[in-house]
Structure 1
Amino acid sequence: MNKQAKTWSNWSGSVKALPKQFVAPSSIEDVAAVVQFCRREGRKLRVVGSGHSFTAIAASDDMLMSLDGLQGIVRVDKVARTATVWAGTKLRALGEALFSHGLGQENLGDIDVQSIAGAISTGTHGTGVSFGNISTQVIGLTVVTGRGEVVDCTAESHPEWFKAMQISLGLLGVIVQVTLRLNEAYKLEYESRRLPLADCLPALPRMAEENRHFEFFWFPYAEPCQIKIMNMTDKAPTSRKVKDYFGEVIMENAFFGLLSKTCQWLPRTSRAISRLSASQVPVGQKVEYSHRLFATKRLVRFHEMEYNVPAEAMADVIDEMRGALQKERYHVHFPVECRYAKADDIWLSPAYGRDSAYIAVHMYRGMPYKEYFAAMEAISLRYEGRPHWGKMHTLQGEALTSRYPKWDAFQEVRRMLDPDRIFDNEYMARLLP
Structure 2
Amino acid sequence: MLSVIKTLQGKRWSNWARTFESNPEKILYPSTIAEVVLVVKEASKQKRKIRVVGAGHSFTRLVKSNDWLVSLDLLSGIEQFDEASSTVVVLAGTRLFQLGEELGEAGFAQENLGDINVQSIAGAISTGTHGTGLEFGNISTQVVELTLVTASGEILTVSKEQNTRFFKASLVSFGSLGIIVKVKLKVIESLVYEYRSDKIQYSNFEPNLERYINDNRHFEFYIFPYSDLVQVKTMNKTERKPQQLFFHHLNSLILENYLFLVLSEICRWFPRTCRVISRLSAKGISKTVVVAKSHELFATPRLVKFREIEYSIPLKHFKQSLQEIRAKIEEKKYKVHFPIECRVVKADDIWLSPSYQRKSAYIAFHMYKGMPYEEYFRDMEAIMQKYEGRPHWGKMHTLGKKELLNRYPKLPDFLAIRKELDPEEIFLNDYLKNMMDEE
* TM-score normalised over the length of structure 2: 0.97
The aligned residue for residue 259 of structure 1 is 263
Native 8 Å contact 1:189 1:288 kept in 2: yes
Partner of 1:249: 253
Contact 1:247–1:282 (8 Å) recurs in 2:
no
For 1:29-428, list aligned pairs within 5 A: 29-242=34-247, 244-428=248-432
- Give me the whole-angstrom Cα distance separating, in 2, the residues matched to 1:289 and 1:357: 25
| Overall identity of the aligned pairs, in % | 50
Q: CA deviation at 1:146?
A: 1.4
* Secondary structure of the corresponding residue to residue 207 of structure 1: helix
1:167-209 per-position Cα deviation (integer Å, ceiling 9, x unaligned): 0111000000010001011111100011111222221111100
| 1:105-159 Cα shifts (integer Å, max 9, x gaps) | 0000000000000000000000000100000000001100112110111111122
Q: Which residue is 1:24 aligned to?
A: 29
Distance 2:24 2:201 in 1: 48
In structure 1, the partner of 2:20 is 15
Q: How many positions carry a matched residue from both structures?
A: 432
Two-structure CA RMSD over aligned residues (Å): 0.8
User: Quick one: distance in 2 between partners of 1:75 and 1:427?
Assistant: 36
Deviations 1:254-292 (A, max 9, x none): 111100000000000000000000001131100100000
Q: Which residue identity does 1:305 align to in structure 2?
A: I
Give distance in 2, aligned partners of 1:30 and 1:240.
40
Structure 2 distance, partners of 1:205, 1:197, is 14
CA distance, structure 2, for counterparts of residue 213 and residue 332 of structure 1: 27
Report Cα offsets for 1:343-391 as digits up to 9, x if no partner: 0000000000100000000000110111100000000000000000000
CA offsets per residue over residues 295-323 of structure 1, 9 Å max, x none?
01111111110000001111111111111
Paired residue secondary structure (2:407)? coil
Structure-2 separation of matches of 1:246 and 1:192: 16
- Structure 1 residue 429: deviation in Å? 0.9
Bigger mean CA offset, 147-156 vs 342-351 = 147-156
Q: How far apart are 1:240 and its partner, in Å? A: 4.4
Could you tell me how far apart the structure 2 residues matched to 1:371 and 1:136 are?
34
Listed one character per residue, the Cα deviations across residues 67-93 of structure 1 (whole Å, up to 9, x for unaligned) are 001010000000110000000000000
What SS does the corresponding residue of 2:395 show, helix, strand or coil? coil
Which 4+ stretches in 1 moved above 6 angstroms? none
Structure 2 runs not aligned, ≥5 long: none
8 Å Cα contact 1:274-1:333 kept in structure 2: yes
CA contact (8 A) 1:264 1:366 kept: yes
More moved, 352-361 vs 244-253: 244-253
Shift of the 428–184 alpha-carbon distance from structure 1 to 2, 3 Å rule, reads same
* Contact preservation (8 Å) 1:321, 1:376: yes
Distance 1:431 1:54 in 2: 15
Q: Matches of 1:125 and 1:5 in 2, distance apart?
A: 34
Q: SS of 1:348's equivalent?
A: coil
Alignment partners' CA distance in 1, 2:249 and 2:294: 18
Unaligned runs of 5+ in 1: none
